[in-house]
Structures are given as structure tokens and as C-alpha cells.
Amino acid sequence: MLNPNSAIERVKNHLAYKLGQTVIEHRHNGGGYIALFKKLYKIKKQHKKEQKIYQQIIQVFPQLKYPSLETCSDYNEALRCKFHLSYMIGEVLIKAYQNWYKGGGFKLKNNIKKANKEFQIFREILKEFKELNGETLKAIQDNKQLFLKEFPRIKNILKTHQDYQPILDNIFHNFNYFIKNFDLIEEWLLSDDFKEKYKKENHPYPSLLDPKKLNDENEKINYHNIPAELAWKMNLPLPPNYEFVGFFLHTSGEKAMERFLKEVGVVLIGAFGYEDGKRYISIFNFLISEACACNDLKFAIGILDVNCQKYDKFCFLLQNKPVLILLRDPIDSLKSFINVRHQKNGFNEILKIDINNTDFDKINDRIVYVHESNGCFNPDTNQKFPSLESIKALSDTNHWMLMYNIRRNKTIEFFRFNKIIYIDMMDIVGDKTLFTLEKLSKILNFSSPDKNNKIFYQQLYSPLTVLLPCIIKVNNKVKIFVSNRFSVKNIQIMENCIDITDKFKEIFHENLIIFCSKDHFDSLINNQTLYNVVLEYINKFLISLKKRINVEKNKEVKVDDVLDYFKKNISVAKSYKDILDEELVYIKQHRPDIVASWKYYQEFERMCKELDENNQNPS
């Protein structure tokens, strides 16, 4: 009885296979042609009967319908059966029968001879390349005549690169595209450029198409007419419409760096997502979009974490562009990691406050600390204080959050042939920011910073930036915005807004700004009573806001707290040191001056050394 879950059994039950097998058996056993035709007729008649019964059964019992061949565990092996001589002769017989009245019978003998020759070719290729997958076999089956026509040239490419497995894998995984665009791909794979750029370097992800031609819109095949998903499968480098790659891990000043780059006309193209190819596809689509054609802007690709499938492939498919790596004293960074705050209703959410709500303490008590004691990021947390215990969790070398704030070494290794620029976070703090950006502008091809732009002197992440902006709804006609002048959040500022900050006496920070549309302000001043109510309300709100900011600042974990924790938890300190030793290899090698400048890391190293000596020489 036929096993419906076996693709091999089902393919061998195809009419073509049964007919061909009968012809081969007859050839071995001997007998006349009349006897053979009788056997073939009976097989065809019985097969048709079985098919009819099957259709009747699944009409009554649809749950008995066979699963698709592709879902069977032996699908790849089953596809090989379609290249058996039995199957190929059977296909010839079926075609001859279908074209019998057009002279199909007269061509039968020659077509069987042709099938025998084709079988020899397929047997050779299947024997030599046992790794051919189902997708490749199906592509050959679907383009059989084209494959046979170009077989000598295809064989030449496969032989030429038989010692370079990555390109063979690429060809076999994209065989349908390979066959249909053979001339173009052949020219590229046999070129000196391919040999030098990919094969000689043993590049793990060689491109199936010539990257130079892809960037030319006049070429038949270019970046603009290839789907991003297919580009990822074929290992095409990302379109080169960007100046550099920014490798900015979390709690290393990445938000400030992104904002500063924006101020000098550089848009950081960031992408998140763990799934295979998701980041590449997102960035690819942006790079070929009209948004990326803006002549007034420069673009850079931002890597903000290393937590994704095939991360090595993603890095290798970036063009050979400069890489800007932002560093920070890892102990200072750990302190900031523990102190990361969001507002309870979501970091980027803008709070809307009704003027009738006067519970200011409750309104402003909305900061939570999103890295919990298990070291994990939880945007829905209710944690009201930073947790030093998260240090213990993060000392586990397998903790996934390390891929967001520490894991750099592998990435630097992937980019070892690129021009790498290391900068320390302290180089983008205060007065140093302008000098750093000026220097980078000459290396990375972006505009010089405006010395009069106050944002370059600001602290861009603080409780103030978490709690603001907010919108105070006075009535259906009037809305007032309270914001930080340099908010990292997106806020839609209405046209014709006016700054009314000087109307309020409780302004406690130079970056506080209060504004509304001119129409809304006119409505207020035409109603003096309401105007006074608004002034009083917002002043009280500001008093409460200042109080809340001081409360949150007092909650902050200090670097000394982190070092004290390590002193009291020796095994945790040792584990964390092992992680840092592994992750700082390249940085110590290429920028020992930056490592030497890390005050708290140096203190941590001395502490670990002392703890180790004390353990070896107990009193």
C-alpha cells in the first residue's frame, strides 16, 4: 500500500515512472512490442482508475488528501527519482501519446534515444554534486532543456569553482535564477574581478552578480529591479548609497551620536529584528528608495546590536566602507545599563494631560527602570528602582543582552579589512564634541558641525528627556506643548508655533521650552481667566516635574556602587572580567590609548588583580 507521507513512493507511483520502468524491464526480459504496448495500456488504464477512486475518496473524506510532496521528509531524494531513466522514458511515452495524431509515434524511437543521452548527463551531474538540494533539482526539472543546452558551459563553471564551496552553494540555492540569467552570471563568475575579490580571499558569501553592474541603472539587471529577499539569498552586497557604517552599541552614547550625526546631515539607517535577512532587507529597500536619493543628506548604516540570525553574513554583505566604532569605559557603561529609564507608557509615547487632572505627583511618577534583576530588557516593567543584581545575570557569558552592549570583538573581526575609526564616548561630551565631529567630517565625508548649534554641548539623555515632551490639553481649542529643546523623541511641532516659555516663572532648566500655535495662544489671551488658570497649572506642573527629576537622580546607581558590588561578589567580578578580556582584544590591540583612559575599567582591573592575589595568598 502506498505511503502518502513518502515522496519517493509517490513519485515512483507517477504514471511516467511506472511506464518507463515497464519499458526498461521489457528491454531486459525481452518480448515483442505488442506485448509491451498491452502492458503499457493496462498500466495507464489502472493508473487512471486509481486516480478516479482517490478523487472520489477525498471528496467524501477531505482529511485523507495527501500532503504536498514538498512537506515530505524525503522530498529532496524524491526529486532525484525524476531524473531516473524510468521517469524520463515515461515522460517521453506520455508526450508521444498526447501528440499521437500529430506524428508523435514516429518520433518515439528518437525521443527515447534522446532521453537516454539526457539521463547520462543528469546521472553525471547528480553523482558529482551530491549536495544538490530540492530547490536546485526542481529548477533543473523546470528548465530541463535550457539546462541541457547550456550544460557544457554550466559544467565548466562548476568545475572551475569546484574548490570554492560558497559559490557552489550560492549557485545551487539560486539555480532557477542562475539558469535564466546564465550569460550574465557566467561572465561574472569567470572574470578576474570575481577571482580577486571573492575566490582568492575565500570570501564566505560571494555575490552571484557583479556588484559594479548592479549599481548601474542602465544595466538590464540592477539593484532597482531585484527584490531585496532575492538579493539576500544571492549574497548581493548592499547598494553602496551610504558613506560609512556606524557600530554603536547601547549605553555607549549611541543616542547622542545619532542625534549629532543628524545635525550634520547624516541619517543613520538602523534596522532591528532577529529573523534571517530581516535587517538586510529593510536597509536594502531604503537604499534604493527615493528617500535615499536626497542630495542634501548623507546616509550611514547603524549597527546597534549583534543579535540576529546570520549576523556574519549581514556584515560581509556591507560594502567596503569605513566603520565608525563608538566605545565607552565598560564599567561606566554597565552603570548606565543599570540606570536605563523609560516612561511607563513607552519611551517614545508623548503624554497627553488634561488640565483638569491636578494630581501632579501621579502624573510625573511614570519613570521605570527597564533592565530588571535578570539583566533582561522589559519595556513593560513596573520596576521603580535600578537593580544592581542585574550585574550577576550579565556576568553569564551566554546572556543575550551582552549582544546589545558589549559584544564587539566578532564584528571588528568581520570588518578587519575596512578602515576602522574608533572614538570614545567622552569625545562627544561637552566641548570635545565639535572637535570630534569636525575631524570625522573630513574622514567620513559629511558637513562640518555648526559651532553655534547649542545641541553639541547638551546632555541628550536624562530624566528630563524621558518625561518630556508632553501635551497639556486646555480644551478642545487649545493645546500647549512642554518639551526639552533637544528632545531625542519625535514630536510633531505645529506650524506657526510661538515660544511662550517666558510666561512661566517656574522654568528650572535652560532647555525647557513651552510653546503652542499662534491661534491657540490668541484664544488664551482673549480669555484672561482661562489664561491665568493655564499659567498657574503649568507652573505647578513644573514644580512637580523638578521634584520628580531630583527623586530619579537620587535613585541612580553610581560607578562606585558597581565597583563595590564586584568587590563583594568575587566570582561575579571574575566572570565579568573574562567577558571583557574576550571582547577587548582588538580594541586593546588597535587603541590601547583609549583603554588606558578608562578610569573605572582600570580600577576594575586593579581590583580583580588584588582579589586574585589575595585568593592565591590567603593570610
Amino acid, single-letter form, for residue 336: S
What residue type is 311 in one-letter code?
Answer: Y
CA 192 to each of CA 196, 197, 198, 205, 211: distance values in angstroms, whole numbers, following the listed order:
6, 8, 10, 17, 14
Q: What does the DSSP 8-state code read for residue 320?
A: S
Cβ(446)–Cβ(264) under 8 Å? yes
Rounded average pLDDT over 343-372: 90
Do 291 and 242 touch, CB atoms closer than 8 A?
no
pLDDT in tens, 103-157: 656 677 788 888 888 888 888 888 877 777 777 888 888 888 888 888 889 989 9
Q: Is the dihedral of CA 487, 491, 494, 500 positive or negative?
A: negative
- Give residues with Cβ within 8 angstroms of 98, minimum separation 6: 104
Residue 433 above 70 pLDDT? Answer: yes
Percentages helix, strand, coil for the chain (3-state, rounded to 5) are 55, 10, 35
Average pLDDT score, the chain: 91
pLDDT at res. 378 = 94
Q: Cis bond leading into 469, ω under 30°? A: yes
pLDDT at position 489 is 62
- Rounded mean pLDDT, 64-68: 91
Q: How far apart are CA 582 and CA 424, in angstroms?
A: 19
Q: How many residues does the chain have?
A: 619
What is the pLDDT at residue 490?
53
Average pLDDT over every residue of 569-583: 96
pLDDT of residue 106: 67
* CA–CA gap between residue 281 and residue 298 (Å, rounded): 20
What are the pLDDT digits (tens) for 114-123? 888 888 888 8
pLDDT at 107 (0 to 100): 75
Domain residues of the chain, as ranges? 7-215, 463-555, 560-616
The residue among 320, 312, 336 whose CA lies nearest residue 254 is 336
pLDDT computed for residue 363 by the predictor: 92
**pLDDT grade for 382, boundaries at 50, 70 and 90:** very high
List Cβ neighbours of 178 (8 Å cut-off, separation of 6 or more). 139, 171, 185, 208
Q: Which residue has the cell 516659555?
A: 501
Q: DSSP letter at 377?
A: B
pLDDT value of position 399: 95
User: What average pLDDT score do residues 535-555 get?
Assistant: 96
Q: What mean pLDDT comes out for the span 442-457? A: 93
Residue pair 182/150 in contact by the 8 Å Cβ criterion: yes
Instruction: Give me the mean pLDDT over the 605-613 stretch.
Output: 89
Assigned C-alpha cell, 291:
528617500
What span, in angstroms and rounded, lies between the C-alpha atoms of 529 and 527?
6
pLDDT tens profile 292-313: 887 789 999 999 999 999 999 9
Distance of CA 457 to the CA centre of its chain: 33
Q: What percent of the chain has pLDDT over 70?
A: 96
